[in-house]
């Protein structure tokens, strides 16, 4: 299980920079939903929880075969960049990221006592 901890303040600032600010007093469910959408590239299912002033994002490990494929695509994109084939870097990078996406349920919950 992978876990990322991000201060709520950081997520609010990021949303504002991207042009869709969240209110500082946004309901926990709204903050969780926005965060889940922002990190939907993580292996599914993704769980988003609020604990004090931190947002915790948890996802499961990628299957071994997907990790191997992502590493192969990353290496191909890196080699193309080294060779100056910049127009071909983006498609390989995009495929690498899309390989991590799986449609499934995402849970969102405030801290439970």
- pLDDT reported for residue 101: 40
Domain, as residue range, for 63: 2-110
Closest CA relative to residue 106, chosen from 38, 51, 5, 52:
38
pLDDT of 23 higher than 70: yes
Mean pLDDT of the chain: 75
**Confidence band (pLDDT; 50, 70, 90) for 33?**
confident
- pLDDT reported for residue 107: 41
Compute how many other C-beta atoms are within 10 angstroms of the C-beta atom of residue 15: 18
Q: How many domains does the chain have?
A: 1
- pLDDT reported for residue 54: 92
Question: What average pLDDT does range 103-108 have in this prediction?
Answer: 39
């Amino acid at each position: 299980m992978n876990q990322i901890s991000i201060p709520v303040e950081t997520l609010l600032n990021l949303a504002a920079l991207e042009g869709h600010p969240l209110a500082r007093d946004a309901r926990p469910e709204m903050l969780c939903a926005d965060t889940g959408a922002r990190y939907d590239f993580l292996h599914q299912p993704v769980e988003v929880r609020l604990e004090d002033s931190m947002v915790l994002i948890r996802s499961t490990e990628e299957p071994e075969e997907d990790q191997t494929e992502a590493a192969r695509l990353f290496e191909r994109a890196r080699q193309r960049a080294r060779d100056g084939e910049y127009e071909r870097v983006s498609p390989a990078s995009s495929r690498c990221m899309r390989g991590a996406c799986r449609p499934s349920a995402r849970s969102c919950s405030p801290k439970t006592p």
